Structure 1
Amino acid sequence: MLDPHELYQLADDLPELGQPVLIQALTGFVDAGNATRLAREHLLSTLEGRPVATFDIDQLLDYRSRRPTMLFVEDHWERYEEPKLQLHLLRDDDETPFLLLTGPEPDLQWERFTEAVIALVERLGVRLTAGFNAIPMAVPHTRPTGITAHATRRDLIGGYEPWLQRVQVPGSAGHLLEYRLGERGRDALGFAVHVPHYVAQTEYPAAAELLLTSVSRATGLLLPTEALREAAEAVRTDIDRQVAQTDEAVALVQALEEQYDAFARGRGENNLLINPSGPLPTADELGAELERFLAEQGKPGDPPTR
């Protein structure tokens, strides 16, 4: 392995951080409802901060798989949207410093990247690392948004009940980081918010709000959520209006509600990733029908078509 310390440049004028929390919110993995992006952008736009470490993106990104955009104006190239993978120093609403890792998930050199982040964790005295994820689930938007919590120690996520018993899924750099931190005896946790899969391709701020609320509860940080809460209420109103336009869409949401409620009553015996038994349509069938309907109506916020 190439030297992980040569993968980043760290600012030499860092203030006293104490034992900060590090939040990783990389893009490129599953991000249903754009929840991770919304949460990350909300923190960067509302809190005071600056980048304190920058990674050598040329070592990590496959440009041909995720081509950065460029702006062409008449007869010349005017702007290049340079991809950046950075560690930001921010301060929460109580002026407590914390770190936020942003940028594209590395395509290459996962182990080296993970070692580089762990080196920063050790050097900066990070006490806890927290990760964001958002996954599509066969759940209705009319029920409380669910979340899956995971951690290197069970007591870090006390009060959270597991939604899944055992499942094999594609890995991510963020999940590998949590796993490697656990091997080193360091505290790390993550939250995967459950987004109704018929709105997974649109912005779903309720999921971003829950991510920030969950991290605040687990870490003691005071992260702002008011703007996300207001946006979530507006999106909920738009979805309700679109669904109410046809009896078919209403029936589909009601079926998802019945499935959700049955799962909540018998938790541990079923899970929402498995097709339900009985007369109800499968979760995939319900979601596909409702997703098609909402797509025909336009994204939340757009005027409904008739």
Structure 2
Amino acid sequence: MTSEPRLVHIVDDVPELDAVREAGDELTMVVVLDGFLDAGNAAARAAQHLVDASDGSVVATFDVDQFHDYRARRPPMSFVRDHYEAYDAPRLVVRLLRDAADTPYLLLLGPEPDNRWEAFCRAVLEVVERFGVTRVVGMGAVPMAVPHTRPIAITHHANRADLLTGESPWRGELRVPSSAQALLEVRLGEWGHPAMGFVAHIPHYLAQMDYPKASAALLEQVEIAGRLMVDLSGLRAEAEDREAEITRYLASNEEVADVVAALERQYDAFERAEEEGSSLLAADQPLPTGEEIGQQFEQFLAGLDGPTDPNEGDA
């Protein structure tokens, strides 16, 4: 009889984390799973910012072969003249990092499992209990009919009400597609481990490009919930460059600017209605449909990938 393969391999000797546990200190684990809940590449870019800011080490490795559907998400590799090389194998790992105040924390980063979600959650539980993780904080992003000229809205969620650090903009029940990251939060709650997360609302028309403004907004929430300090100056500089790029494009494309203006009016009407306690939707401000936004912004995305000068090339 063959035994089930081990799904996560945890480093046996991590004195740094053992010291944290013995001292009774708190330990945060940030979770970012690529592939589904990440419009604007916001969470993945935020996670990469954390990795770049700290010389960390891998303390746990998941057996990706047990979770990844290679035919659905084929990893890239290089073909050089007459041979294959440089295969970019997917990795699902837990890294030990340090924040700007030298506080240790963990980062679980990699592709979202395509299958065996329950087994994945149990494997993460092993990591949580081995290292004495006291809170798990997830990041994600979804496309919404919101303008980029307004503050990034964040949906707060947690498996215990006392963990919430902000009020949810939603009312009632929403039926949404599930994810491994969402299931992990549910299961950790059932197993007695606190977990929370933040989902940034990304303008529809920017969902297919990197949007560092949202990455910075997510990390601001992680700082609060995870009791961490993150230097966001570099990420905010990226966000300013991106905003300037978008502004230049809108200045030369009146139709696209009109769509953004319509979203601004709808957003402001929504905010006024919330403040006044009336309907959340303004009757005199019809919201552009996703199809209408997509049509208007095909040219927008093409323009951002090409020359930044509106007089250069085919806009």
Please name the residue that 1:223 is paired with. Answer: 230
- CA–CA distance in structure 1, aligned partners of residues 83 and 295 of structure 2: 45
Say whether 1:240 aligns with 2:215. no
Give SS of 1:170's match.
Answer: coil
Say whether 1:139 aligns with 2:143. no
TM value normalised by structure 1: 0.92
TM value normalised by structure 2: 0.89
**Per the alignment, do residues 278 and 143 of structure 1 end up closer, same or farther by CA in structure 2, a change over 3 Å counting?**
same
Shift of 1:12: 2.0
**Per the alignment, do residues 24 and 269 of structure 1 end up closer, same or farther by CA in structure 2, a change over 3 Å counting?**
farther
Give SS of 2:173's match.
Answer: coil
- CA–CA distance in structure 1, aligned partners of residues 279 and 3 of structure 2: 46
Please name the residue that 1:36 is paired with. Answer: 43
Say whether 1:73 aligns with 2:102. no
Give SS of 1:241's match.
Answer: helix
Please name the residue that 1:9 is paired with. Answer: 9
Shift of 1:256: 0.6
Say whether 1:262 aligns with 2:269. yes
**Per the alignment, do residues 91 and 168 of structure 1 end up closer, same or farther by CA in structure 2, a change over 3 Å counting?**
same
**Per the alignment, do residues 180 and 279 of structure 1 end up closer, same or farther by CA in structure 2, a change over 3 Å counting?**
closer
**Per the alignment, do residues 296 and 168 of structure 1 end up closer, same or farther by CA in structure 2, a change over 3 Å counting?**
same
- Matched-pair contact (CA < 8 Å) for 1:242–1:297: yes
- CA–CA distance in structure 1, aligned partners of residues 309 and 137 of structure 2: 38
Question: How many pairs does the alignment contain?
Answer: 302
**Per the alignment, do residues 76 and 284 of structure 1 end up closer, same or farther by CA in structure 2, a change over 3 Å counting?**
closer
CA RMSD of aligned residues (A): 2.2
Shift of 1:300: 8.4
Shift of 1:286: 5.2
- Matched-pair contact (CA < 8 Å) for 2:39–2:207: yes
- Matched-pair contact (CA < 8 Å) for 1:68–1:80: yes
Unmatched tracts of structure 2, length 5 or more: 21-25
- CA–CA distance in structure 2, aligned partners of residues 269 and 55 of structure 1: 49
Please name the residue that 1:278 is paired with. Answer: 284
* Cα distance per residue 1:261-301 (max 9 Å; x no partner): 111122276568xxx64353534355224422412423388
Give SS of 1:6's match.
Answer: coil
Give the one of 35, 54, 61 matched to 2:68.
Answer: 61
Q: Which moved more, 1:224-233 or 1:259-268?
A: 259-268
- CA–CA distance in structure 1, aligned partners of residues 75 and 186 of structure 2: 30
- Matched-pair contact (CA < 8 Å) for 1:136–1:200: yes
Give the one of 194, 208, 216 matched to 1:209.
Answer: 216
- CA–CA distance in structure 2, aligned partners of residues 297 and 247 of structure 1: 14
Shift of 1:238: 0.8
